[in-house]
Amino acid sequence: MLRSSKIFKSGYLAIMIILLVLGLAGCTQGGSYKLIMGDIQAGEKSIEGSYSSFSGNYYKNVELAKNDQIIFGLTAETEAGTIAAQFIDPDGNIILEIKEGSRQEKFLEETGTYKMKVIGEDHKGNFELSWAKKLF
C-alpha cells in the first residue's frame, strides 16, 4: 500500500510540473514589475496603464509576418520617472527603442513572435503603447 501511494504522489507531481511548464510557455503577456495603485492592461494592438508608480517591465507577445510594416506610438502623461518601450524580434534582439511622445515605423524581415515591451523607472502617470500594420 505504501509503494502505490509513492507512485501516485510521483505521478501527480510529474503531471503538475508538466502543466506548469506548458502554462508558462504559452504566456502572451506579463513581465516583472512593481505597480502601486493602478493597472496595466494589454489589448489586441496596445498596452496601456495608469498608476501612482510603475517600475520594471510589462510585455505582450504578438504574431507578425515577414514584410509587415509596423507603426508604433508611445504617448504618456508623466508626473515623475521615465517610461519607454522596446520592440523585440523573435530571437530576443531589441530592434527598436520607442521613446515617450514618439511615433516610429519598422519593416519586418521575418515571420514570428515579436515582443512589445514597456519599461518604467519610478514612473508616475499613465501611458499607451500602440501599434498597427501600415496598409499600402
Average pLDDT over residues 63-78: 92
- Judge whether residue 23 has pLDDT over 70: no
Please report the pLDDT score of residue 19 as a whole number.
47
Domains of the chain with bracketed CATH: 29-133 (2.60.120.260)
- Check residues 9 and 106 and name the one with the higher pLDDT: 106
DSSP for 30-95, written as a single string: EEEEEEES-EEEE-SSEEEEEEEEEEEEEEEEEEE-TT-EEEEEEEEEEEEEEEEEEEE-TTS-EE
Please report the pLDDT score of residue 135 as a whole number.
75
Please report the pLDDT score of residue 102 as a whole number.
82
Q: What digits encode the pLDDT tens for the residues 90-124? A: 999 999 999 888 889 999 999 999 999 999 999 99
Is 53 exposed, middle or buried (CB count within 10 Å of its CB: 0-12, 13-18, 19+)? middle
